[in-house]
């Protein structure tokens, strides 16, 4: 059985159905003659424009026009439909009550069998609210972008593949300082710093509070940043996600350059450390001075005591009881004075034992001595141990130990006019101890003075320079307190080499 061709729609459907469909359509529909005079308007057209059918039929479509629509739009509209082509665009129209609305208009020419345009079919819908919402979203977007761009911190938005979608001017400045995509470098630094904690937070889209991150730059000081990570999700606007919502996650990274703040904090820390060490030196000098005075006074008191004993044995024969009594009274007062002097000797303060990175201590010492090293024109070579150089120690005393050694080396090179001025400091790790060597190109120390220089009040600098000779003595005492050793290498002939060995077994840990 052969299939019959489908009948035309106007033969299948009754003509009145077309009129009913147009009349009941939700879209505003009008039919005009070739001069745009309205011949028909459906119910939706009346509802949108506010005109009843008898009020609008016979009038030109221009009755709806409003002056804010540019003349060029109408010229384009007529040029298009006169070429028998449909036109679609937005017009600002005016209702009967004078209120305006934005109309999305489509005009289609109706052509007869002879190819002549006899009518125009107009369809429009009120998109005022849609336009308002779109404009509101655009305004909010512009406002957000302006605020983000004006922010004093760098802000960057990345997708789940860590591709940059949005950034601000402060972030663009970082590109010049750190190279392409600073966000990736900072995220990598956060991963390294936080380890598994970062991975867990990242995988579960959890926020990360501000953390300080340092980025080392070749031939420049380390740049420091405070970085915070925030996550938010966006619903997919595609058609596929209408009934089954899809979510995309985005990472917002805020970056604040705190390099200057860190520099100020470091300067404050070094100044506090300098003040602490200065106070320790003052107290140590006072202790050594008072202890020396007690020692010096004890000797004549002992001699007086011996004389008194001798006179006591001879008192029966000499009869000089008065002299013996006066001598004993003087000795008693002298003993009381010595005890008072001993009581004035300040106790030696010790900071608590804690894990100390010896390399960091030596870096602090170089910072403390930077001014004297620069003013003396001394070139410093610093060779830290690549291994962990951590042990349990008294940090302030350890710092003071190496400060005294470096200060002594600087003074020694200053005493030698001309010649090479170099200071070499190196740390090394052995199985049971840490070793630090400090070498200078000064005049060196004579073999016979290798041990005397560590004695209190001994100095080779002369009285005219007002040195009390406590620097190396304080270094020796600090080494003793840590169970270590300090010595001057007798085989070193290009200046002076001091070796300090600090054992791990002194309550310390090799990390």
CATH number among 3.20.20.70, 3.30.70.270, 3.40.50.1580, 3.30.450.20, domain 9-127: 3.30.450.20
Residue closest to 103 by CA, chosen among 75, 132, 74, 123:
123
Q: For the domain made up of 354-503, give the CATH fold.
A: Heat Shock Protein 90 (3.30.565)
Residue 2: per-residue pLDDT: 52
Give the burial string for 41-60 (b: 16+ CB within 10 Å, else e). Answer: bbebbbebbebeeeebeeee
pTM assigned to the model: 0.58
Tens-digit pLDDT profile for residues 73-103: 999 999 999 999 999 999 999 999 999 999 9
The alpha-carbon radius of gyration of the chain (Å, integer) is 47
Tens-digit pLDDT profile for residues 103-139: 999 999 999 989 999 999 999 999 999 999 999 989 9
- Of 100 and 344, the structure prediction assigns the larger pLDDT to 100
Please report which confidence band the pLDDT of residue 152 belongs to, taking 50, 70 and 90 as the band edges: confident
Superfamily for domain range 151-257? PAS domain (3.30.450.20)
Tens-digit pLDDT profile for residues 15-54: 888 889 999 999 999 999 999 999 999 999 999 999 999 9
Q: Do 9-127 and 151-257 show the same overall fold?
A: yes
Q: What is the DSSP string of 183-243?
A: HHHHHHHHHHHHTHHHHHHHHTT--EEEEEEEE--TTSPPEEEEEEEEEEEEE--SGGGTT
| Domain residue ranges of the chain, discontinuous segments joined by + | 9-127, 151-257, 265-343, 354-503
Lowest mean pLDDT among 191-200, 244-253, 424-433, 464-473: 464-473
Mean pLDDT comparison of 347-356, 363-372, 455-464, highest-scoring range = 363-372
Tens-digit pLDDT profile for residues 417-431: 767 889 999 999 888
Q: How far apart are the first and last CA of the chain?
A: 94
Does 464 have pLDDT greater than 60? no
> How many other C-beta atoms lie within 10 A of the C-beta of residue 340?
9
Phi and psi at residue 265, to the nearest 5°: -65, -40
Residue 27: per-residue pLDDT: 94
- Of 306 and 52, the structure prediction assigns the larger pLDDT to 52
Instruction: Supply the mean pLDDT for the chain.
Output: 83
Residue 465: per-residue pLDDT: 45
Query: Which residues neighbour 169 within 8 Å (Cβ) at sequence distance 6 or greater?
Result: 149
Residue 269: per-residue pLDDT: 86
């Amino acid at each position: 059985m052969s299939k019959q061709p489908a009948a035309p729609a106007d033969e299948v459907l009754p003509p009145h159905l077309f009129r009913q469909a147009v009349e009941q359509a939700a879209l505003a529909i009008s039919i005009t003659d070739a001069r745009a005079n309205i011949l028909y308007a459906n119910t939706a057209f009346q509802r949108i424009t506010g005109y009843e059918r008898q009020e609008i039929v016979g009038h030109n479509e221009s009755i709806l026009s409003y002056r804010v629509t540019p003349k060029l739009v109408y010229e384009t509209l007529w040029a298009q439909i006169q070429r028998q082509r449909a036109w679609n665009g937005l017009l600002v129209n005016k209702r009967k009550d004078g209120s305006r609305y934005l109309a999305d208009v489509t005009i289609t020419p109706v052509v007869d069998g002879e190819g002549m345009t006899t009518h125009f079919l107009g369809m429009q819908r009120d998109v005022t609210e849609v336009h308002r919402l779109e404009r509101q979203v655009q305004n909010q977007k512009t406002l957000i972008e302006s605020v983000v761009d004006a922010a004093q911190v760098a802000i960057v938005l990345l997708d789940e593949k860590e591709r940059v979608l949005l950034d601000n001017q402060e972030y663009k400045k970082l590109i010049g300082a750190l190279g392409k995509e600073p966000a990736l470098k900072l995220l990598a630094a956060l991963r390294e710093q936080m380890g598994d904690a970062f991975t867990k937070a990242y995988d579960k889209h959890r926020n990360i509070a501000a953390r300080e991150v340092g980025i080392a730059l070749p031939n420049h000081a380390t740049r420091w940043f405070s970085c915070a990570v925030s996550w938010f999700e966006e619903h997919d606007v595609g058609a596929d996600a209408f009934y089954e919502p899809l979510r995309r996650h985005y990472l917002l990274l805020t970056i604040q350059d705190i390099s200057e703040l860190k520099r100020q904090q470091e300067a404050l820390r070094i100044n506090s450390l300098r003040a602490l060490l200065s106070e320790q030196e003052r107290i140590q000098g006072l202790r050594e001075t008072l202890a020396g005075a007690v020692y010096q006074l004890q000797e004549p008191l002992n001699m007086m005591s011996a004389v008194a004993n001798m006179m006591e044995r001879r008192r029966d024969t000499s009869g000089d009881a008065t002299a013996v009594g006066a001598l004993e009274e003087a000795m008693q007062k002298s003993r009381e004075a010595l005890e008072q002097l001993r009581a004035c000797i300040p106790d030696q303060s010790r900071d608590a034992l804690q894990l100390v990175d010896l390399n960091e201590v030596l870096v602090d010492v170089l910072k403390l001595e930077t001014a004297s090293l620069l003013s003396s024109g001394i070139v410093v070579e610093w060779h830290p141990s690549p291994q962990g150089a951590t042990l349990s120690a008294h940090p302030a005393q350890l710092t003071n130990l190496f400060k005294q050694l470096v200060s002594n080396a600087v003074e020694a090179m200053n005493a030698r006019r001309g010649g090479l001025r170099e200071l070499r400091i190196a740390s090394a790790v052995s199985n049971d101890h840490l070793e630090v060597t400090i070498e200078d190109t000064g005049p060196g120390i004579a073999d016979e003075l290798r041990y005397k220089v560590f004695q209190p009040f001994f100095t080779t600098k002369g009285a005219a320079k007002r040195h009390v000779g406590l620097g190396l003595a304080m270094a020796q005492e600090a080494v003793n307190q840590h169970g270590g050793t300090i010595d001057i290498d007798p085989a070193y002939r290009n200046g002076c080499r001091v070796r300090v060995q600090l054992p791990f077994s002194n309550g310390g840990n090799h990390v």
